[in-house]
């Protein structure tokens, strides 16, 4: 039996002017599933992620989270953003706040946690991503890999139902990529539902339940990593893989 759907997109369409950036997208992400999204630059991967978090609106179709349509505004929208954490290529930490304060901010504001509770939880999360000793530093004092691990811990602080990653390692020096992927692998093992846009094919092979290949705003293939990497069906996917592998 397929896992219960946590994220469900049906017939989703979006344009930017005349560019049809999302074309009839159907995608189901089951609870606890890890879906890796790959595809050429400009194929709509970031727009897809942003639509799931309602950072972008859609023109037709539907997106459900946990059986409910995405809320359009107000408190319910803030709640959605808390339920679906997002980790970007640029770490987007608050530069003038310490690492600990970065993790405490949203839980206090949105989840209404008390300061002590938020601080304790923040320290636990930093420990989990291997950064317990960095709590009182400022983002600029950390390496890129450390900053991205803080960004992941900050997303986790909201106790999200799912996490979206948009090229989380693309801005990192090569030697830092693995420490971030290792944190993500750990989350996957713990059962976190994840949608991950990445060019790290090793991660896709080892951690993904499914690989979604996008081209020109469409989902061209949606298969297990084993099937996809050993026998891509589409010319587009074969062409893409020949360029990056
Ligand atoms: P990917 O993440 O796969 O590289 P994106 O989702 O970022 O692709 O972009 C898909 C297409 O939409 C690209 O051609 C991009 O230039 C265009 N696009 C993205 N955001 C906007 C925007 N805010 N306004 C106009 N065009 C956009
Ligand atoms: Mg992108």
DSSP 120-188: HHHHHHHHHTT-GGGTTS-GGGS-HHHHHHHHHHHHHTT--SEEEEESTTTTS-HHHHHHHHHHHHHHH
Q: Which of 17, 44, 215 to mutate to test the pocket of ligand 1 (most atoms within 8 A of CB)?
A: 44
> 21 C-alpha vs ligand 1 centroid, how far in Å?
7
Ligand 1: residue whose CA is nearest its atom 14:
42
- Rounded to 10 deg, the angle between the 144-156 and 99-109 helix axes is 20
Q: Which of 15, 17, 19, 170 to mutate to test the pocket of ligand 1 (most atoms within 8 A of CB)?
A: 19
Ligand 1 in reach of 196 Cβ (< 6 A): no
> 43 C-alpha vs ligand 2 centroid, how far in Å?
8
Which residues have CB under 8 Å from 211's CB, separation 6+?
Answer: 35, 36, 37, 38, 204, 221, 222, 223, 224, 225, 228, 229
* Tens digit of pLDDT at every position of the chain (245 positions): 456 899 999 999 999 999 999 999 999 999 999 999 999 999 999 999 999 999 999 999 999 999 999 988 888 888 888 899 999 999 889 999 999 999 999 999 988 999 999 999 999 999 999 999 999 999 999 999 999 999 999 999 999 999 999 999 999 999 999 999 999 999 999 999 999 999 999 999 999 999 999 999 999 999 999 999 999 999 999 999 999 87
Ligand 1: residue whose CA is nearest its atom 27:
16
Q: Is residue 169 a contact partner of residue 181, using CB atoms and an 8 Å limit?
A: yes
Q: Which atom of ligand 1 is nearest to the CA of 197?
A: 2
Q: Which atom of ligand 1 is nearest to the CA of 39?
A: 3
Instruction: Tell me the whole-structure pTM to 2 decimals.
Output: 0.95
Ligand 1 in reach of 41 Cβ (< 6 A): yes
Q: Is residue 22 a contact partner of residue 217, using CB atoms and an 8 Å limit?
A: yes
Per-residue confidence (pLDDT) for residue 2, from 0 to 100: 57
Tokens of 2: 């397929």
Please count the helices (runs of H) and the strands (runs of E) in the chain. Answer: 9, 10
Which residues have CB under 8 Å from 56's CB, separation 6+?
Answer: 14, 47, 50
């Amino acid at each position: 039996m397929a896992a219960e759907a946590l994220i469900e997109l049906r017939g989703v369409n979006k344009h930017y002017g005349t560019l049809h950036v999302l074309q009839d997208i159907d995608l189901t992400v089951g609870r606890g599933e890890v879906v890796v999204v790959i595809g050429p630059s400009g194929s709509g991967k970031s727009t897809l992620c942003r639509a799931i978090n309602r950072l972008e609106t859609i023109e037709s179709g539907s997106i459900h989270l946990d059986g409910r349509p995405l809320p359009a505004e107000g408190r319910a929208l803030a709640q959605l953003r808390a339920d679906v954490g997002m980790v970007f290529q640029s770490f987007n930490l608050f530069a003038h706040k310490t690492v600990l304060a970065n993790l405490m901010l949203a839980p206090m504001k949105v989840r209404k946690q008390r300061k002590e509770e938020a601080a304790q939880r923040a320290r636990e999360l930093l420990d989990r991503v291997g950064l317990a000793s960095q709590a009182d530093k400022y983002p600029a004092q950390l390496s890129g890999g450390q900053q991205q691990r803080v960004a992941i811990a900050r997303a986790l602080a909201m106790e999200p139902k799912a996490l979206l990653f948009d090229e989380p390692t693309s801005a990192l020096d090569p030697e830092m990529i693995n420490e971030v992927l290792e944190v993500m692998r750990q989350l996957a093992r713990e059962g976190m539902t994840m949608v991950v846009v990445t060019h790290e094919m090793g991660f896709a092979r080892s951690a993904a339940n499914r690989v979604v290949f996008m081209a020109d705003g469409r989902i061209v293939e949606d298969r297990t990593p084993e099937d996809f990497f050993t026998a891509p069906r589409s010319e587009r996917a074969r062409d893409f893989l020949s360029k990056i592998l």
